[in-house]
Amino acid sequence: MEIIQQLVNGISLGSIYALIALGYTMVYGIVKLINFAHGDVFMVGSFVGFYSITFLHLSFFPTLILSMVACALFGVLIERIAYKPLRNATRIAALITAIGVSLLIENGMIFFRGAQLEAYPNDILPTNKIDVLGVTVESKSLLILCVSVALMIILQFVVHKTKIGKAMRAVSHDAEAAKLMGINVDNTISATFAIGSSLAGAAGVIFGTYYYKIEPLMGVIPGLKAFVAAVLGGIGIIPGAMVGGLLLGVIESLVSAAGGSLWRDGVAFIILILILIFMPQGIFGKNKREKV
For the chain, which residues make up each domain, given as ranges? 2-115+133-278
3-state SS assignment for residue 290: coil
* Nearest by Cα to 245 from 126, 125, 111, 151: 151
Tens-binned pLDDT, residue by residue, of the chain (292 aa): 677 777 888 888 899 999 999 999 999 988 888 899 999 999 999 999 999 999 998 899 999 999 999 999 999 999 999 999 988 888 899 999 999 999 999 999 999 988 899 999 887 877 777 776 667 777 788 888 889 889 999 999 999 999 999 999 999 988 889 999 999 999 999 999 999 999 999 999 999 998 888 999 999 999 999 999 999 998 888 889 999 999 999 998 888 887 777 777 788 888 889 888 988 888 887 665 555 5
Which residues make Cβ contacts (< 8 Å) with residue 215, sequence separation at least 6? 115, 116, 117, 118
Instruction: Report the run of H or E that residue 130 belongs to, with start and end.
Output: strand 129-132
- Which CA distances in Å does 222 have to 37, 157, 168, 182, 262? 12, 26, 26, 38, 16
The whole-number pLDDT of residue 4 equals 77
Instruction: Report the distance separating Cα 22 and Cα 238, nearest Å.
Output: 6
Q: So what's the architecture of 2-115+133-278 in CATH?
A: Orthogonal Bundle (1.10)
Question: Could you tell me the maximum CA-CA distance found in the chain, to the nearest angstrom?
Answer: 59
